[in-house]
Structure 1
Amino acid sequence: MKNKVKTNKSVAKRFRVTKNGKILHACANRSHKNYHKSGSRKRRLDVESQLQSGDKRRIRRALGI
C-alpha cells in the first residue's frame, strides 16, 4: 500500500512553485530594522528570488511534489 506524502506547512508558507516548476522565495533581511537601509536596497529585497539548484530536490520533497 502506498503512503501519501504530507506537505510540510512551514515550507509551503516560505516557498512557491511557478507554472514552469521554478521555486521562488522571499529575500532575507527585509523583516525589521529597515530604517537604516536605503530605499533601493529595500526595493531590491522585495522581489522574490529563485531557489538555488542544490536545495531544489529537498524543498520539492518537503512540498510534496
Structure 2
Amino acid sequence: MHQIIVHAFADQVAVVEVLFASQDKEKVAVKYQELQEKFPNDYLAIYDLPMDVNLDSLPHYPSVEISKEDFE
C-alpha cells in the first residue's frame, strides 16, 4: 500500500497538494517530520492510499474541507 502526505494552506488562495508518496513507511515518517518543521502552521496529513480502489467509497480518504470563506 502507498502512503501520501497531503499539505493544505490558505493565504491569498487555498491550496491542497500532495507533496510526497511512497510505499516505504519510514521514508514517509521522515518526510512528514521535515514538512512539519518547514510548514508548522499548515495542515499536513498522511493517508494510506490503496491501489485500484475508488477512494470515495472508503469511510475516510485523502481530502481537505475548504470553506467558501477560504476562496474570498
Smaller-chain TM-score range?
Answer: under 0.3
Structure showing the higher strand proportion among its residues: 2
Q: Is the helix fraction higher in 1 or 2?
A: 1
- Whichever of the two has the greater Rg, that structure is 1
